[in-house]
Amino acid sequence: MKKMVFILALSTIFASCQRSSREVWEDTKTCGRYVNRGVKSLAGRHQDGQLAYIKHPDDSFLYLTEGDDSDISFEEVESNSFSTKEISSQNFVTPTNELAAIFSNIHFDTDSYVIKGEENLTAIRKIVSYLSSHPLCIVTIEGHTDERGPAAYNLALGARRANAIKTFLLERGVSPDQLQSISYGKENPCVEGHNEISWRENRRGQFKVLHSS
Amino acid sequence: MRLLFFLILPFSLFAETIHVPLEAHLSYRKTYVRCEQKELKNLLCLDLNRNGFCRVVDSEKEAELLIEVSVDKEFIFSATDLTNPKKLQLRQPLQTDVKKQLHQCADKLSLELFGKTGISSKKILCTSRTAQKHAVVCWDSSGSKKTLWTQNSLLVTPKFLPHSALFFVVSYTEGAPKICLSSILEPSMRRVTYLEGNQLMPTITQKLNRIAFICDASGREDLYIQDFSPANGVQNKALCLFSKKNCTQASPTFHPDGEKIALVSNKDGSARIYLLDIEKLRSTGNFTLLTKKNRENTSPDWSPDGSKILYSAMTSGTRQIWMIDLDTHEEIQLTFDHGHKENPVWGINSFHFIYNRCLQTHAELYMMNLREKKPIKLSGDEDARFPTWEQ
Measured from the Cβ of residue B24, the count of other Cβ atoms closer than 10 Å reads 9
Taking only residues 30 to 69 of chain B, the set having a beta carbon closer than 8 angstroms to any beta carbon of chain A reads none
How many Å lie between the alpha carbon of B274 and the closest alpha carbon of chain A? 12
Please say whether the beta carbons of A26 and B23 come within 8 A: no
Q: Which residues contact B59 (CB under 8 A, 6 or more apart)?
A: B32
Task: Taking residues B23-42, report their average pLDDT.
Answer: 87
A71 at B interface, C-beta within 8 A: yes
A65 at B interface, C-beta within 8 A: yes
Q: Is the pLDDT of residue B64 over 90?
A: yes
Please say whether the beta carbons of B182 and B189 come within 8 A: yes
C-alpha angle B278-A162-B167 in degrees, rounded to nearest 5: 50
Residue-level pLDDT at B247: 83
A1 at B interface, C-beta within 8 A: yes
CA A44/CA A41 separation, integer angstroms: 5
Cα nearest neighbour of A176 on chain B: B219
Q: B345 to each of A18, A56, A159, B160, B366, how far by Cα in Å?
A: 31, 34, 24, 11, 11
Choose among B239, B277, B165, B255: nearest CA to B207. Answer: B255
CA B225/CA B242 separation, integer angstroms: 10
pLDDT category of residue B210 using cuts at 50, 70 and 90: very high
Lowest-confidence segment of A138-142, A201-205, B65-69, B141-145 by average pLDDT: B141-145
Element (H, E) at B70: strand B65-71
Residue-level pLDDT at A59: 53
Choose among B247, B390, B391, B250: nearest CA to B311. Answer: B250
Element (H, E) at B147: strand B145-151
pLDDT category of residue A47 using cuts at 50, 70 and 90: very low
Handedness of CA A148, A153, A154, A158 (dihedral sign): negative
Lowest-confidence segment of A59-73, B26-40, B196-210 by average pLDDT: A59-73
Element (H, E) at A154: helix A151-171
Side-chain half-sphere exposure of A53, counting CA atoms within 13 A: 9
CA B232/CA B311 separation, integer angstroms: 32
Residue-level length of chain A: 213
C-alpha angle B138-B346-B129 in degrees, rounded to nearest 5: 35
pLDDT category of residue A1 using cuts at 50, 70 and 90: low
B361 at A interface, C-beta within 8 A: no
Q: Is the pLDDT of residue B16 over 80?
A: no
Instruction: Give chain A positions within 8 Å (CB) of B319.
Output: 150
Element (H, E) at B168: strand B166-171
Residue-level pLDDT at B274: 94
pLDDT tens digits, B275-323: 998 877 655 556 789 998 988 999 999 999 999 999 999 999 999 999 9
- Look at B287 and A82 and tell me if their CB atoms are within 8 Å: no
pLDDT tens digits, A114-128: 999 999 999 999 999
- Look at A166 and B312 and tell me if their CB atoms are within 8 Å: no
pLDDT category of residue A51 using cuts at 50, 70 and 90: very low
Q: Note the ipTM here.
A: 0.87
CA B53/CA B81 separation, integer angstroms: 14
CA B254/CA B306 separation, integer angstroms: 9
Please name every residue paired with B167 in a beta bridge, in sequence order, or none if there are none: B160, B182
End-to-end CA distance of chain A: 77
Please count the residue pairs, one from chain A and one from chain B, whose beta carbons lie less than 8 angstroms apart.
228
CA B314/CA B173 separation, integer angstroms: 32
B264 at A interface, C-beta within 8 A: yes
Instruction: Give chain B positions within 8 Å (CB) of A167.
Output: 219
Choose among B290, B239, B280: nearest CA to B259. Answer: B280
Partner residue facing B177 (CB), from A51, A166, A183: A183
CA B10/CA B1 separation, integer angstroms: 15
Bigger pLDDT: A104 vs A16: A104
Residue-level pLDDT at A5: 74
- pTM comes to 0.85
- Look at A12 and B11 and tell me if their CB atoms are within 8 Å: yes
pLDDT category of residue A38 using cuts at 50, 70 and 90: low
- Look at A182 and B177 and tell me if their CB atoms are within 8 Å: yes
Residue-level pLDDT at B149: 93
Please say whether the beta carbons of A161 and A143 come within 8 A: yes
pLDDT category of residue A3 using cuts at 50, 70 and 90: confident
